[in-house]
Amino acid sequence: MRTRSMVEWAFSLPCRLPWRHRKPSILFVLLAVLFSSACRQDMHDQPKYIPLRPSGFFPDHRSERPLVEGAVARGNLDDDDAFYAGKGPDGKPVDTFPFPVTKDVILRGQSRFNIYCAPCHDRVGNGAGMIVRRGYRHPPSYHIDRLRTVPNGYIYDVITNGFGAMPDYAAQIQPADRWAIVAYVRALQLSQNATMKDVPPGQEIPTPQLLSPSGGRK
């Protein structure tokens, strides 16, 4: 607002100079702009090594210095095997979760699963996703006995390293989200294979009495 009014004010000033006298001053401004730009190349020509260029300074003549032993890239320490690799101290897949599984974790797992896994495994995990219907190799259903009894760390490992024809999802899905997906896969498995024993006490729905023993048919 303020700048605007100043500009308006500047334009409203009466200028007594006719245009032909104003020309030299315009030329002066143009020249000043032209010569005020820097022409030196110091930053460009400074001594530096481009990748793989040899060096006369180091005894092994390599400009790339070897990493100090035990160096770890920032954010890549990954010192918790159960969390980052899904493996216990014996190197076998763990059957626990590295953090408590709450409803929020399952909901997060559901959203990640529907994005990353459902295109092949389908939303219920039967392996008939859209990509498979278009010709991709049919994955096994999650509801077969073998996959129902594999430990959690095994599913985590399949996401991290891939399995057979399935590519890995380590780059797309961070470890905490991989665990959330594992929790959701467990929920899917339970949803297709639950028994009355899984229903918390007091929440059972009574068996309908309306159906006749013949299943309602006469």
Whole-angstrom distance, CA of residue 143 vs CA of residue 192:
7
Token pair for 173: 């899905």
Type of residue at 95: D
Cβ neighbours of residue 186 under 8 Å, at least 6 residues apart? 152
Kindly identify the residues of this chain, within the stretch 132-151, that bind ligand HEC according to CB under 6 A: 136-137, 139-140, 147
Kindly identify the residues of this chain, within the stretch 159-178, that bind ligand HEC according to CB under 6 A: 159, 163-166, 169, 173
Q: Shortest gap between Cβ of 95 and ligand HEC (angstroms)?
A: 14
155 touches ligand HEC by CB under 6 A: yes
Q: Shortest gap between Cβ of 37 and ligand HEC (angstroms)?
A: 53
Cβ closer to ligand HEC: 85 or 173?
173
Q: Which three-class secondary structure state does DSSP give residue 62?
A: strand
Q: How far apart, in Å, are the Cα atoms of 84 and each of 20, 31, 53, 167, 174?
A: 77, 63, 37, 18, 9
Cβ neighbours of residue 138 under 8 Å, at least 6 residues apart? 127, 128, 132
Token pair for 48: 């530096």
What binding mask, one character per residue, do residues 44-83 give for ligand HEC by CB under 6 A, x or -? ----------------------------------------
Cβ closer to ligand HEC: 62 or 137?
137
What binding mask, one character per residue, do residues 101-120 give for ligand HEC by CB under 6 A, x or -? ---------------xx-xx
| Of residues 127, 126, 192, the one with CA closest to residue 166 | 127
Nearest residue to ligand HEC, by Cβ distance, number only = 164
Cβ closer to ligand HEC: 82 or 155?
155
| The dihedral formed by the CA atoms of 174, 178, 179 and 185, expressed in degrees to the nearest 10 | 160
Whole-angstrom distance, CA of residue 129 vs CA of residue 121:
5
| Only segment of 4-12, 18-26, 75-83, 131-139 that touches ligand HEC (CB under 6 A) | 131-139
Q: Shortest gap between Cβ of 88 and ligand HEC (angstroms)?
A: 19
Q: Shortest gap between Cβ of 147 and ligand HEC (angstroms)?
A: 6
85 touches ligand HEC by CB under 6 A: no
CB atoms within 10 A of CB 137: 11
What is the contact surface with ligand HEC in residues (CB under 6 A)? 116-117, 119-121, 131, 136-137, 139-140, 147, 155, 158-159, 163-166, 169, 173, 181, 185
